[in-house]
Amino acid sequence: MLINDALLARMDARLDTKRDAAGQTIGVRFTEEQRQFRVALLPFTAETTTVATVSPRALVHCEGAVYSVPCQWTGLDLVVLGATTVTIVGRYGRQIPHPRLRFGQRSIDYRHYLPELARKPQALRQVLPELLRDLGAPFPAIWEHLHPAHGPREAARVFAKIIGQLEIHGAAVVVPVLTAALAAGTPLLLALTPAVSAPLPSAPLRCPADAPPTTPHGSGRCRHERTDADPRARGGADPRAEAARHGARVREPRATGSRRALAA
């Protein structure tokens, strides 16, 4: 609550009139003490801080008033900051502002319920005026375009699909496409399809020649790479093939028990 202006004026008037035993005025003493004040690390904000739990209907109750939050926050404990404006701090520091209301009043932003309304066209029809108010342009014009062409029920189904694309891809992508489609007379869902289905740029694949060769033992060589110890890597022939070509007897490894059994 702000200090009354009249009271503040009376306090300022005493700065130069009221003196202590040493004859110093309040203003002089305050100036001396002000030099000894420590500077706060963060600016002080005069607002109350409370913790509230989000109800299953994505509502927060604070001092008797009701405020809406995104429906994905149901069940969470959130910080509510209140002065002339109520700010609800949620996931990743996201802030939801609402005007401060009196006991029993409600502040509902239907943009917080887009995921649910996109799945329930009947519920969308019930809150349509408030939803169009919160969405803003060009969505009232979109509804005026859909309603005469499809009727209320089918128009709500089409509008719900548009709301779903808005929730998934964001206003920065969807709103310009819808505005251009309305101006050109293009079917709205048809105009949205190429805009929201464009593939994202993928990271370039590294060529095997660019990739550093590695081995399971960390020797810095590829496990399929031949070394100088292998005569085939130096252009030489297989030693066993060379011995057979010169008529030398190649010593076979001793047969194990299993090999003897197979030979018998």
In a domain, 145, yes or no: yes
Same domain, yes or no, for 123 and 176?
yes
Q: State both tokens at 54.
A: 């989000």
Same domain, yes or no, for 122 and 165?
yes
Same domain, yes or no, for 169 and 127?
yes
pLDDT, mean of each 10-residue run, the chain (264 residues): 73 80 82 83 83 95 95 94 89 92 95 96 96 96 95 96 94 94 91 67 48 46 48 53 54 52 46
Same domain, yes or no, for 186 and 118?
yes
CA–CA separation, 159 and 85 (whole Å): 32
Same domain, yes or no, for 100 and 119?
no
Domain boundary among the residues 82, 108, 134 is at 108
Same domain, yes or no, for 89 and 117?
no
Same domain, yes or no, for 191 and 120?
yes
Looking at residue 195, its pLDDT comes to 60
Looking at residue 64, its pLDDT comes to 93
In a domain, 102, yes or no: yes
Same domain, yes or no, for 130 and 188?
yes
In a domain, 186, yes or no: yes
Domain boundary among the residues 174, 195, 216 is at 195
In a domain, 119, yes or no: yes
The bridge status of strand 65-68 relative to strand 106-107 is parallel
Same domain, yes or no, for 85 and 123?
no
HEC assignment per residue over the chain: CCCCHHHHHHHHHCCCCCECCCCCEHHHHHHHHHCCCCCCCCCCCCCEEEEEECCCCCEEEECCEEEECCHHHCCCEEEEEECCEEEEECHHHCEEEEECCCCCCEECCHHHHHHHHHHCHHHHHHCHHHHHHHHCCCHHHHHHHHHHHHCHHHHHHHHHHHHHHHHHHCHHHHHHHHHHHHHHCCCHHHHHHHHHCCCCCCCCCCCCCCCCCCCCCCCCCCCCCCCCCCHHHHCCCCHHHHHHHCCCCCCCCCCCHHHHHHHC
Domain boundary among the residues 164, 195, 226 is at 195
In a domain, 212, yes or no: no
Same domain, yes or no, for 169 and 134?
yes
Cβ atoms within 10 Å, residue 117 = 26
In a domain, 23, yes or no: no
Report pTM: 0.60
Looking at residue 62, its pLDDT comes to 92
Looking at residue 246, its pLDDT comes to 54
The candidate with the shortest Cα–Cα distance to 175, out of 194, 159, 190, 162, is 162
In a domain, 181, yes or no: yes
In a domain, 101, yes or no: yes
Question: Which residue is associated with the tokens 């003196």?
Answer: 19
Q: Are 119 and 167 in contact (CB under 8 A)?
A: no
Same domain, yes or no, for 190 and 138?
yes
Give the domain extent around 163: 113-195
Structural domain count of the chain? 2
Same domain, yes or no, for 119 and 185?
yes
The letter for the amino acid at 87 is T
Looking at residue 253, its pLDDT comes to 52
